[in-house]
């Protein structure tokens, strides 16, 4: 009799967890490059009332008799599908169309690298007067990294994290830089005051992971590597299965509101059904108590 109570309690707890996942998805429906999550359930240990038996010449075998003891959250998966692109008209807003992650670094003595699909970037302040201005992630201030392949590697992927920052100089050869452009390969082209254009001034790097769903969410729209994400490989945009970069666009959240509202109803009804089991079990227990009267 008590098994149903505890099974229903596990149902309440885990449908609340489902509602938490759905609520977070809906809260981030307008978060830049947000990747939605999905929860799946699994049953927990079963109590065996009778084990399975072998068939004999005189009698057939019997299947096991087991009663389940509730439910548990099995996984909370990241859905890493492409989000829609929204035009912003801002040159430093970058969206990846395809696979890959922008590479960010704190530029410490021993730099650590994090990854993002959020291309909301700005030009930071030069560390010295007249010096180059770094491209930085607006939400964190982390520097955006470029990629320069080793001479012997050609266009091959590298497992060595890039060491170059993407920067825009104040001048080139004594001629002031008045603007810049970023093409689909992430290559920077400078517009000079004399009307000329200098191409190939650095290239934005992208990282790929064997299992991007294994990345850790770290807040501020960034991800960190995990042991199950695999080893990151680095290269330029639009190279070796990496997506193209779209300047003047941002990737939007991939949350589908119709799916989330449906999941909300499922979670609510699951919660209500488990509540009803508790109520019904309580009524049966009350009837048993009343027998004594």
Taking a C-beta distance cutoff of 8 angstroms, is the pair 252, 84 a contact?
A: yes
Domain boundaries, the chain: 2-80+255-291, 85-251
Taking a C-beta distance cutoff of 8 angstroms, is the pair 256, 84 a contact?
A: no
Residue 20 phi, psi (nearest 5):
-60, -45
The token duo for 63 is: 């299947």
Taking a C-beta distance cutoff of 8 angstroms, is the pair 198, 172 a contact?
A: yes
- Classified as helix, coil or strand, 262 is helix
- Classified as helix, coil or strand, 90 is coil
Q: What is the pLDDT along the chain (293 residues), one digit of tens a residue?
A: 678 999 999 999 999 999 999 999 999 999 999 999 999 999 998 889 999 999 989 999 999 999 989 999 999 999 999 999 999 999 999 999 999 999 999 877 778 899 999 999 999 998 888 889 999 999 999 999 998 766 655 567 777 767 689 999 999 888 999 999 999 999 999 999 998 999 888 899 999 999 999 999 999 999 999 999 999 999 989 888 899 999 999 999 999 999 999 999 999 999 999 999 999 998 888 888 888 76
pTM of the model: 0.88
> Token match 């939605």: residue?
36
Q: Is 107 left (phi over 0), alpha (psi -120 to 50) or beta?
A: left
């Amino acid at each position: 009799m008590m098994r149903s109570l505890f099974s229903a309690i596990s149902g309440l707890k885990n449908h609340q967890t489902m509602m938490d996942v759905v609520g977070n998805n809906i809260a981030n429906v307008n978060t830049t490059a947000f990747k939605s999550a999905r929860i799946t359930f699994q049953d927990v240990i079963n109590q065996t009332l009778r084990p399975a038996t072998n068939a004999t010449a005189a009698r057939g075998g019997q299947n096991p008799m087991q009663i389940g003891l509730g439910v548990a959250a099995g996984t909370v998966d990241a859905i890493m599908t492409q989000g829609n692109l929204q035009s912003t008209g801002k040159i430093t807003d970058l969206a990846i169309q395809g696979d890959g992650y922008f590479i960010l670094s704190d530029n410490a003595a021993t730099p650590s690298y994090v990854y993002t699909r959020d291309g909301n970037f700005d030009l930071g302040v030069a560390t010295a007067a007249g010096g180059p201005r770094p491209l930085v992630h607006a939400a964190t201030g982390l520097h955006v990294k470029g990629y320069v392949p080793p001479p012997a590697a050609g266009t091959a992927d590298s497992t060595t994290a890039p060491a170059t920052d993407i920067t825009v100089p104040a001048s080139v050869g004594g001629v002031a830089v008045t603007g810049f452009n970023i093409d689909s390969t992430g290559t920077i082209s400078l517009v000079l005051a004399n009307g000329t254009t200098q191409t190939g001034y650095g290239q934005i790097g992208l990282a790929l992971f064997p299992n991007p769903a294994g990345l850790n969410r770290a807040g501020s729209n960034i991800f960190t590597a995990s042991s199950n994400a695999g080893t990151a490989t680095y290269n330029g945009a639009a190279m070796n299965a990496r997506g193209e970069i779209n300047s003047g666009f941002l990737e939007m959240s991939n949350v589908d509101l119709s799916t989330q509202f449906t999941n909300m109803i499922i979670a609510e009804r699951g919660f209500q059904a488990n509540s009803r089991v508790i109520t019904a079990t309580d009524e049966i227990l009350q009837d048993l108590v009343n027998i004594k009267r």
